[in-house]
């Protein structure tokens, strides 16, 4: 009995010791340094140092934040309809969401990447992929609007996308799911050897940024998970992680996790480019949408492209090699020098680093370890530069600070680990709250990262914020990485699921941001640039209202002669030429969103009145001291009535 | 050539820079306009300080019933002719006339400029007081009279939510410099004559 009491006592003492220790640690390790608030505080009226473009995941959009404050400035609609901005609702932008499957109002946006010149961010465009119905979008940073979307044929689960080469020669889009190419009706269990993985190289016009599919490399039926371009010495190559080299078509969590090693596919795109420039490749029938928005007509057009150039790796010997990489690698990241290619085996406890120099050497000396469908497999030990041993559990993504350090996220152990390139030693680790996916250092995917902050994007938040029912916000966390140790400075909530982000010094972007659209450049076919031209026209049962808006009235604001059964088009031009004076408009019962029209812009919506009456419309954006007076009436007469078409202002 | 004569030529030619540089500038500051609205007055034109400023000044001013700033006023035709003629006279005097005429030219220029300034003030007064009786917002002075919105002739003035500045610009300094040089030319020429 005494013995038991002693044991209890001992246990109690031990427990209190642990407790005390725990408390003591919390003081020092609570991660927050005392002046964290000061370091993320951007005083009223002052600007953040960086823009962060954070993907919305299942929201389909791209949000714009400031760093270090974590303030949200704008959600740019990309792949999903947005009633606030009439994106995909008004007549002008509906074509932007057209695909070979018809109008698709949603997608899953994952990986933004900023255009580059000579390996450095130039701040002209952000590219981002739509994962579900494969598409690549381009956002023009002079207007912060999506101005081009191209659908990717022969692709499914467009995930190893949208990463740019160092002069923005190409935006690359790799398929995650392999599919029959071309698509056809066939048994699913005949996957092996029949399904293919398309890696798509989209050229970007250096002048106007126009996108075009240059070629598709038709690879074996693996899952192409993520990718990054070579840079510096490795410029001209592109690297893709693969999993499911087992080519399983069911219960992949087990069946695609059998091989000890999958691959990083190294693609010499310069070689393939040369091949296709000399007439190589096969033109294959296809059907995919190419949607372009024009800032002068303020309209989008959608064109269905009917052909795509495909290249079989076997046709271009020496263009593709496979680098064995342990355990279903996820992240595929290339350091600023272009020498190290990092494959994070998500089921491994290690991070594998390949050397570009060693890879070239192995290729030259033909140190092959078999092949997969004719593609040479290099031997693991010949290409491996090193391994970061046991840094954490579930490594995913790596970014770089330009000072010789790499930062890798660990999903399972929920942390960011800082380690040294070359020595592979772990320098520091900081917890994430919780289950971090991607991380982002502004300029991290370039030759010149701005190594001041890292943003970790978490999949789970649980108790980190005030609860909002079963669905709670996802979150980003900002760490200062300017010192030897990382310091957690700030949590901030995100829109949708933040898969990845791209950051850039604000100075590169902000001077180019436009304030208004010049009215004199407005080439919209239904634009009215002077009050004298405001009018209403009838064409059969279509009524076209050519309307203007300026503080604080519509012209015309009294319209009569519309009948039940008519299709009424409001074509509204904002005549303002002053910064930050948008106007909005909507009318009772419109089966669509409002319009939110920027100065100098024209937008249109359709209204199909169903009952006779006099129906008001009004300005939906508080524009001026007389915003409440900015209203009008439209009279709707029965279908058979003879009410004359007329319109007026101020009579 | 004698110094006085050279200075007289300079005096006559300097006001011609009015065709290059603005005469005056009116600037309107308000919290909503971190970049202030501004209008340059040239001898023959009104011009935006930043693109679309005049349009935006008009939009602001229509609330209190002020007329739109006109595209053209008669002065834009008269003033350039006036400046061209006075310069011509100055050159003629410089070539042929005796130095005492330099002084007459100076006095003429002072008178002409004064007339110009009075005209400018009169235009500003009209612009600020000729209000639309249907104005959206009507303001009265403490004494009950209708509030005017005349921009300051010279200096800075608070008008409702705006702070208005009105100052001469390089063109005006060129004109003033030309006039002053006329006087200097007379004084130098006189000394040259006496010392001769």
Q: What is the ipTM of this complex?
A: 0.88
**Which segments of A295-414 are extended strands (E)?**
299-311, 320-326, 329-334, 340-345, 351-355, 368-372, 375-378, 384-388, 395-400, 405-410
User: Which of B35, B51, B63 is opposite residue A625, by nearest beta carbon?
Assistant: B63
Tell me the pLDDT band of A23, cut-offs 50, 70 and 90.
Answer: very low
B55·A577 Cβ contact <8 A: yes
- Contact residues, chain A, for B55 at CB < 8 Å: 577-578
B52·A516 Cβ contact <8 A: yes
d(CA B8, CA B14): 10
The CATH classification number of A519-648 equals 2.60.40.420
- Contact residues, chain A, for B59 at CB < 8 Å: 550-551, 576, 578
Q: Would you state the pLDDT for residue A13?
A: 45
**Min Cα–Cα distance to chain A from B159, Å:** 17
Residues 6 or more apart from A477 whose CB is under 8 A from it?
A432, A433, A436, A455, A456, A458, A488, A490, A491, A492
Q: Would you state the pLDDT for residue B97?
A: 87
pLDDT tens, A145-170? 999 999 999 999 999 999 999 999 99
| Domain range summary for chain A, segments of one domain joined by + | 56-510, 519-648
Given a contact cutoff of 8 angstroms between Cβ atoms, the answer to whether A90 and A604 are in contact is yes
Q: Would you state the pLDDT for residue A32?
A: 60
B56·A551 Cβ contact <8 A: no
- Locate tokens 């001898």: which residue? B43
Which DSSP category does A115 fall into?
E
Percent of chain A with pLDDT over 70: 95
What's chain B's Rg over C-alpha atoms? 21
**Residues A122-161, buried b or exposed e (16+ Cβ, 10 A)?**
bbbbbbbbbbbbbbbbbbbbebbbbbbbbbbbbbbbbbbb
Check whether A24 has a pLDDT greater than 80.
Answer: no
Given a contact cutoff of 8 angstroms between Cβ atoms, the answer to whether A520 and A529 are in contact is yes
CA-wise closest residue to A357 among A344, A338, A377, A334: A338
Q: Which two tokens stand for residue A294?
A: 């024009």
Q: Would you state the pLDDT for residue A3?
A: 52
The answer to whether B56 contacts chain A (CB < 8 Å) is yes
d(CA A99, CA A82): 18
Q: Which two tokens stand for residue A241?
A: 């992680």
Concatenated DSSP letters of A590-610? -SS--EEE-TT-EEEEEE---
d(CA A62, CA A496): 9
Give the mean model confidence (pLDDT) for residues A468-487: 96
Given a contact cutoff of 8 angstroms between Cβ atoms, the answer to whether A49 and A110 are in contact is no
pLDDT tens, A106-131? 999 999 999 999 999 999 999 999 99
A577·B52 Cβ contact <8 A: yes
**Min Cα–Cα distance to chain B from A102, Å:** 42
Given a contact cutoff of 8 angstroms between Cβ atoms, the answer to whether A238 and A271 are in contact is no
Residue A356: half-sphere exposure toward Cβ, Cα within 13 Å: 23
d(CA A323, CA A95): 41
Which DSSP category does A178 fall into?
-
Residue B14: helix, strand or coil by DSSP? helix
Check whether A334 has a pLDDT greater than 50.
Answer: yes
CA-wise closest residue to A225 among A268, A299, A163, A280: A163
d(CA B153, CA B118): 10
d(CA A362, CA A571): 63
Check whether A21 has a pLDDT greater than 50.
Answer: no
User: Which of B56, B63, B137 is opposite residue A578, by nearest beta carbon?
Assistant: B56
Given a contact cutoff of 8 angstroms between Cβ atoms, the answer to whether A289 and A224 are in contact is no
d(CA A225, CA A70): 29
Check whether A396 has a pLDDT greater than 90.
Answer: yes
Percent of chain B with pLDDT over 90: 81
Give the mean model confidence (pLDDT) for residues A625-633: 95
Check whether A345 has a pLDDT greater than 60.
Answer: yes
CA distances from B115 to B42, B82, B122 (A): 17, 11, 10
The answer to whether B135 contacts chain A (CB < 8 Å) is no
A626·B55 Cβ contact <8 A: no
Tell me the pLDDT band of A28, cut-offs 50, 70 and 90.
Answer: very low
Given a contact cutoff of 8 angstroms between Cβ atoms, the answer to whether A182 and A284 are in contact is yes
**Min Cα–Cα distance to chain B from A587, Å:** 26
Which DSSP category does B16 fall into?
G
Nearest CA in chain B to A551: B59
Q: Which two tokens stand for residue A230?
A: 């070579």
Check whether A582 has a pLDDT greater than 70.
Answer: yes
Nearest CA in chain B to A45: B34
User: Which of A578, A625, A626 is opposite residue B52, by nearest beta carbon?
Assistant: A578
CA-wise closest residue to A408 among A338, A461, A330: A330
Tell me the pLDDT band of A99, cut-offs 50, 70 and 90.
Answer: very high
Q: Which residues of A touch B (CB under 8 A)?
A: 516, 550-551, 576-579, 625-626
Size of the A and B interface in Cβ pairs below 8 Å: 17
The answer to whether B100 contacts chain A (CB < 8 Å) is no
Interface test with B, best of A578, A630, A650 (most B CBs within 10 A): A578
For residue A12, which phi and psi values (nearest 5 degrees)? -60, -45
User: Going by DSSP bridges, is the β-strand pair A583-587/A595-597 parallel, antiparallel, or unpaired?
Assistant: antiparallel
The answer to whether B47 contacts chain A (CB < 8 Å) is no
Tell me the pLDDT band of A17, cut-offs 50, 70 and 90.
Answer: very low
- Contact residues, chain A, for B161 at CB < 8 Å: none
Give the mean model confidence (pLDDT) for residues A201-225: 97
Tell me the pLDDT band of A550, cut-offs 50, 70 and 90.
Answer: very high
Given a contact cutoff of 8 angstroms between Cβ atoms, the answer to whether A486 and A510 are in contact is no
Q: Is the dihedral of CA A522, A526, A528, A532 positive or negative?
A: positive
pLDDT tens, A291-308? 999 999 999 999 999 999
d(CA A573, CA A577): 11
Nearest CA in chain A to B60: A551
Query: Mean of the per-residue pLDDT values for chain A?
Result: 94
Bridge partners, residue A52, by sequence = A65, A503
Nearest CA in chain B to A600: B52
Q: Which two tokens stand for residue B124?
A: 């500003």
The answer to whether B55 contacts chain A (CB < 8 Å) is yes
B59·A550 Cβ contact <8 A: yes
Check whether A9 has a pLDDT greater than 70.
Answer: no
pLDDT tens, A36-58? 999 999 999 999 999 999 999 99
A550·B52 Cβ contact <8 A: no
- Contact residues, chain B, for A625 at CB < 8 Å: 63, 137
Fold matches, A56-510 and A519-648: no
Given a contact cutoff of 8 angstroms between Cβ atoms, the answer to whether A149 and A135 are in contact is yes
Is CATH 2.130.10.10 the classification given to domain A56-510? Answer: yes
- Contact residues, chain B, for A577 at CB < 8 Å: 51-52, 55-56
- Locate tokens 């263009």: which residue? A319
d(CA A317, CA A338): 23
- C-alpha torsion A622→A624→A629→A630, nearest 10: -70
- Contact residues, chain A, for B63 at CB < 8 Å: 625-626
Nearest CA in chain A to B59: A551
Tell me the pLDDT band of A397, cut-offs 50, 70 and 90.
Answer: very high
* Total domain count, chain B: 1
Interface test with A, best of B37, B55, B58, B139 (most A CBs within 10 A): B55
User: Going by DSSP bridges, is the β-strand pair A299-311/A211-220 parallel, antiparallel, or unpaired?
Assistant: parallel
User: Which of A578, A579, A626 is opposite residue B136, by nearest beta carbon?
Assistant: A626
Q: Would you state the pLDDT for residue A305?
A: 98
**Higher per-residue pLDDT: A18 or B22:** B22
| Helix locations, A30-53, DSSP H | 36-40
Nearest CA in chain B to A578: B56
A551·B59 Cβ contact <8 A: yes
B52·A625 Cβ contact <8 A: no
**Min Cα–Cα distance to chain B from A578, Å:** 7
Give the mean model confidence (pLDDT) for residues B129-145: 90
Percent of chain A with pLDDT over 90: 93
- Contact residues, chain B, for A579 at CB < 8 Å: 35
- Contact residues, chain A, for B56 at CB < 8 Å: 577-578
Nearest CA in chain B to A553: B59
The answer to whether B136 contacts chain A (CB < 8 Å) is yes
- Would you give the distance in Å from CA B23 to the centre of its chain? 5
For residue A327, which phi and psi values (nearest 5 degrees)? 55, 75
d(CA A145, CA A312): 36
Query: Going edge to edge, which strands form the sheet with A405-410?
Result: A395-400, A405-410, A415-420, A426-431
């Amino acid at each position: 009995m005494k013995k038991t009491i002693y044991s209890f006592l001992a246990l109690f003492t031990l427990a209190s010791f642990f407790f005390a220790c725990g408390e003591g640690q919390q003081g020092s390790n609570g991660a927050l340094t005392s002046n964290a608030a000061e370091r993320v505080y951007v005083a009223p009226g002052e600007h953040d140092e960086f823009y962060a473009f954070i993907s919305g995941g299942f929201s389909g959009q791209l949000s714009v934040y400031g760093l270090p404050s974590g303030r949200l400035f704008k959600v740019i609609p990309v792949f999903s309809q947005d009633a606030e901005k009439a994106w995909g609702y008004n007549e002008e932008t509906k074509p932007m969401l057209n695909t070979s499957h018809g109008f698709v109002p949603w997608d899953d946006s994952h990986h933004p990447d900023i255009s580059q010149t000579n390996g450095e961010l130039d701040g002209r465009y952000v590219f981002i992929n739509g994962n579900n119905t494969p598409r690549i979008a381009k956002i023009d940073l002079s207007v912060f609007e999506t101005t081009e979307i191209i659908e990717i044929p022969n692709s499914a689960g467009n995930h190893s996308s949208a990463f740019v080469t160092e002069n923005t020669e190409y935006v690359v889009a790799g398929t995650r799911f392999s599919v029959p190419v071309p698509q056809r009706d066939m048994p699913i269990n005949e996957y092996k050897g029949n399904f293919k993985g398309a890696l798509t190289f989209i050229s970007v016009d250096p002048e106007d940024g126009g996108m075009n599919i240059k070629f598709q490399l038709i690879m074996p039926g693996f899952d192409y998970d993520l990718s990054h371009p070579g840079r510096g010495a490795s410029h001209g190559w592109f690297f893709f992680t693969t999993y499911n080299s087992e080519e399983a078509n069911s219960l992949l969590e087990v069946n695609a996790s059998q091989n000890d090693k999958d691959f990083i596919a190294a693609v010499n795109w310069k070689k393939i480019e040369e091949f296709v420039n000399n007439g190589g490749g096969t033109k294959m029938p296809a059907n995919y949408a190419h949607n372009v928005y024009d800032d002068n007509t303020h309209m989008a057009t959608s064109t269905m492209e009917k052909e795509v150039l495909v290249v079989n790796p076997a046709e271009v010997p020496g263009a593709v090699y496979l680098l064995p990489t342990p355990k279903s690698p996820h992240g595929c990241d290339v350091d600023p020098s272009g020498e190290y290619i990092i494959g994070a085996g998500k089921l491994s406890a290690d991070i594998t680093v390949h050397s570009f120099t060693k890879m070239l050497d192995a290729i030259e000396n033909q140190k092959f370890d078999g092949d997969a469908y004719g593609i040479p497999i290099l031997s693991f030990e010949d290409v491996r530069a090193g391994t970061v041993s046991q840094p954490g559990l579930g490594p995913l993504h790596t970014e770089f600070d330009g000072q010789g350090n790499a930062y890798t996220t660990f999903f399972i152990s929920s942390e960011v680990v800082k380690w040294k390139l070359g020595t592979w030693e772990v320098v520091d680790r900081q917890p994430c709250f919780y289950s971090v996916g991607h991380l982002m250092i502004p300029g991290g995917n370039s030759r010149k990262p701005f190594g001041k902050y890292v943003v970790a994007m978490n999949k789970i938040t649980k108790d980190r914020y005030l609860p909002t029912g079963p669905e709670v916000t996802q979150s980003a966390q900002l760490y200062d990485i300017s010192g030897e140790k990382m310091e957690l400075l700030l949590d901030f909530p995100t829109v949708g699921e933040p898969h990845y982000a791209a950051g850039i010094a604000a100075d590169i972007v902000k001077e180019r941001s436009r304030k208004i659209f010049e009215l004199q450049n407005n080439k919209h076919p239904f634009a009215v640039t002077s009050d004298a031209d405001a009018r209403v026209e009838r064409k059969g049962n279509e009524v076209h209202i050519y309307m203007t808006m300026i503080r604080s009235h519509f012209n015309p604001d009294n319209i009569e002669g519309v009948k039940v059964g008519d299709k009424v088009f409001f074509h509204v031009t904002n005549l303002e030429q002053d910064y930050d004076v948008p106007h909005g408009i909507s009318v009772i019962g419109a089966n669509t969103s409002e319009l939110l029209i920027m100065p100098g812009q024209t937008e249109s919506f359709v209204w199909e009145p169903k009952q006779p009456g006099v129906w008001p419309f009004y300005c939906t954006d508080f524009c001026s001291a007389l915003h409440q007076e900015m209203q009008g009436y439209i009279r709707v007469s029965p279908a058979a009535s003879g009410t004359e078409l007329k319109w007026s202002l101020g009579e | 050539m004698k110094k006085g004569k050279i200075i007289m030529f300079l005096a006559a030619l300097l006001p011609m820079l009015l065709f290059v540089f603005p005469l005056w500038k009116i600037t309107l500051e308000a919290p909503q306009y971190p970049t202030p609205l501004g209008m340059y007055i040239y001898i023959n034109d009104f011009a935006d300080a930043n693109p679309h400023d005049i349009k935006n000044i008009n939009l602001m001013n229509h609330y209190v019933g002020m007329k739109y700033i006109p595209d053209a006023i008669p002065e834009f035709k008269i003033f350039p002719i006036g400046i061209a003629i006075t310069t011509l006279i100055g050159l003629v005097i410089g070539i042929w006339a005796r130095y005492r005429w330099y002084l007459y030219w100076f006095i003429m220029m002072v008178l002409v400029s004064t007339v110009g300034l009075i005209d400018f003030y009169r235009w500003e007064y009209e612009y600020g007081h000729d209000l639309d009786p249907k104005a959206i917002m009507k303001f009265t002075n403490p004494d009950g009279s209708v509030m005017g919105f005349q921009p300051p002739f010279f200096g800075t003035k608070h008008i409702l939510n705006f702070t208005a500045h009105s100052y001469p610009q390089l063109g005006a300094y060129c004109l003033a410099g030309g006039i002053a040089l006329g006087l200097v030319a007379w004084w130098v020429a006189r000394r040259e004559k006496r010392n001769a």
